[in-house]
Structure 1
Amino acid sequence: MALNICALNICAGRLPGERTGSLVIAALVGLALLVAAPIGASAQQSAPQEGVQLGEDVFSDVQKEAIGEVIRDYLIANPQLMLEVMDALDAYESIAEREQQRVIINANRDALERDGVSYVAGNPEGSITVIEFFDYRCPYCKQTADDMQKLIETTDDVRLVLKELPILGPDSTVASQAAIAAVPQGKYLPFHFALLRSEGKLDREKVMEIAEDVGLDVDRLARDMESARVEAIIDNNRALAREVGVRGTPAFIIGDELVPGAAPLEALEARIEAVRDAS
């Protein structure tokens, strides 16, 4: 099933398939040794045991060729084995990646939850923190806007940390700059939801029109948008997203788990409830 997420091309390192491919090769080597064991055992039994040292090649060229033929014939006769190996390796890799991601999230907990600059909706003193990375032009972020508003209106222990992550071009950056610059004027949240609910092109002119509609001082907003502080917040959000493995918008972090894509409200609430139960 496709994930409702706007892709973010900031991830470094190998593609998932490259690592899986390497693991498949390792699995085949293991299979080779398993199938070859009886042959190897015969070779060792026929050879003086005191002459066999760890690391020596105990198989002759003829035996190696025979082993290769056995494995080739076995795989041809049982092609489904490769699918089973791939599935098992994918599952193993997913578990390992999730665990590594938990470690990284916990290592960046303060930057994620309490950086001192991100707007916190809901209950700022709430015991459960939900972090959302979003882009105002992302259609899937727009899709989740009503759910996010409902979440903060119907829960009294959730603090929603909103992190602008403009990834869809210059207009996205302008919208994020304006939203961050609106915080000192005390109009962030209505401006935030108005931007997300806007339809059509979201260029600078439209952003300023929305800002005026929600009661912002647009002249002050225009000046504040160009500040080094606003630029630093966006740069830091991008670096943090890269660090914790966010690959697109929207992306949510609840507890020590990253929830990518436009997850339904029920799924987010279930994760929140799990965090409540664990605390």
Structure 2
Amino acid sequence: MNFKSWSFAAVVLTAFPFGAAADDLDEARVKALVLEAIREKPEIVMEAVEILRKREAEAQAVAQTEVLTSQRDMLERDSNAPVLGNPNGDVTIVEFFDYNCPYCRRVKPEIQALLKEDANIRLVYREWPILGEGSVFAARAALAAREQGKYAEFHWALMALQERAEEASVLRVAKQVGLDLEQLSNDMNDPSIEQHISTSMRLTQQLGFNGTPSFVIGDELVAGFVEKEKLAGLVDNARARDDKK
């Protein structure tokens, strides 16, 4: 019996005073008692599932808080991550994204409007290419564009694509924004690019993110498309917490 099955059994058995804890019984006896409990009270299955769900959510929240504490500098101050907005801003938004993610493209104007409205935001971009080889190529090209001082311009242009980001479309956009394609190709092999992407993969796994876009704003973790008003509210909350420290 694996850990999750044993936890489920233990939760089910708590509803019935069989006189022994699940840990004190062998597997066959536990299974028999669980079946007996379910026959007497079928609704206990859903109750047990809900209890386990809450326990897992609580454990995940604790783990995420620990990651935010231990990885704060890496999330907000990694010198290998592009920073847009105000580099000296008092609140940092970290966005994990993929150029082929439709929700990332939808959130682009929300982010741009927020930066225009609030000139005191640092926006840290973490390339997290999880939607295929085209996404990987786009992420590597965007990070390489830093060497020509065109990350921001290239980033916004890629986010405005009306087609998938693949090698051909990415290079076409690179040419349109004035990038030297030969230099770009060479710079895409820089070890710092693989390091950035690997770090993004590690951080998202630790934070429990499973899709793009995903945001870290102060102590808040937000997944999915977010409108400007909600982003602004989260920024205000982060500022308020910092003022209390």
- Which of 112, 116, 121 is matched with 2:79 structurally? 116
Aligned to 2:51: 88
1:127 aligns to 2:127 (yes or no): no
* Cα deviation, residue 246, structure 1: 2.4
Deviations 1:172-191 (A, max 9, x none): 11111111111122211121
* Cα deviation, residue 217, structure 1: 2.2
**Which one-letter code corresponds to 1:96 in the other structure?**
A
**Which one-letter code corresponds to 1:158 in the other structure?**
I
**Which one-letter code corresponds to 2:45 in the other structure?**
M
Unaligned runs of 5+ residues in structure 1 are: 1-13, 41-56, 58-63
* Cα deviation, residue 254, structure 1: 1.4
Taking the aligned partners of 1:92 and 1:195, their CA distance within structure 2 comes to: 41
**Which one-letter code corresponds to 2:97 in the other structure?**
F
* Cα deviation, residue 149, structure 1: 1.3
Greater RCO (Cα-Cα under 8 Å, separation 6 or more): 1
**Which one-letter code corresponds to 1:165 in the other structure?**
W
1:219 aligns to 2:182 (yes or no): yes
Aligned to 2:232: 269
Whether contact under 8 Å (2:80, 2:192) holds in the other structure is no
Aligned to 1:260: 223
Aligned to 2:11: 27
- Which of 106, 109, 112 is matched with 2:69 structurally? 106
**Which one-letter code corresponds to 1:24 in the other structure?**
F
Using the size of structure 1 for normalisation, the TM-score is 0.74
**Which one-letter code corresponds to 1:229 in the other structure?**
S
Aligned to 1:202: 165
Aligned to 2:141: 178
Whether contact under 8 Å (2:128, 2:139) holds in the other structure is yes
Aligned to 2:102: 139
Secondary structure of 1:236 counterpart: helix
CA RMSD across the alignment: 2.6
Using the size of structure 2 for normalisation, the TM-score is 0.84
- Between stretches 263-272 and 98-107, larger displacement belongs to 263-272
- Which of 126, 151, 162 is matched with 2:114 structurally? 151
Secondary structure of 1:202 counterpart: coil
* Cα deviation, residue 228, structure 1: 2.2
1:167 aligns to 2:130 (yes or no): yes
Taking the aligned partners of 2:142 and 2:234, their CA distance within structure 1 comes to: 28
Report the number of matched residues.
232
Taking the aligned partners of 1:238 and 1:96, their CA distance within structure 2 comes to: 21
Secondary structure of 2:125 counterpart: strand
Aligned to 1:53: none
Taking the aligned partners of 1:177 and 1:157, their CA distance within structure 2 comes to: 28
* Cα deviation, residue 68, structure 1: 5.2
Taking the aligned partners of 2:88 and 2:203, their CA distance within structure 1 comes to: 23
* Cα deviation, residue 224, structure 1: 0.9
Aligned to 2:204: 241
Secondary structure of 1:32 counterpart: coil
- Which of 231, 241, 244 is matched with 1:278 structurally? 241
* Cα deviation, residue 75, structure 1: 4.3
Taking the aligned partners of 2:148 and 2:234, their CA distance within structure 1 comes to: 33
Secondary structure of 2:14 counterpart: helix
Unaligned runs of 5+ residues in structure 2 are: none
Taking the aligned partners of 1:81 and 1:30, their CA distance within structure 2 comes to: 10
Deviations 1:200-234 (A, max 9, x none): 23222211211121222222212211222222222
- Percent identical: 34
**Which one-letter code corresponds to 1:275 in the other structure?**
A
Secondary structure of 1:249 counterpart: coil
Deviations 1:17-47 (A, max 9, x none): x74x5432111222233xx46xx9xxxxxxx
Secondary structure of 1:31 counterpart: coil
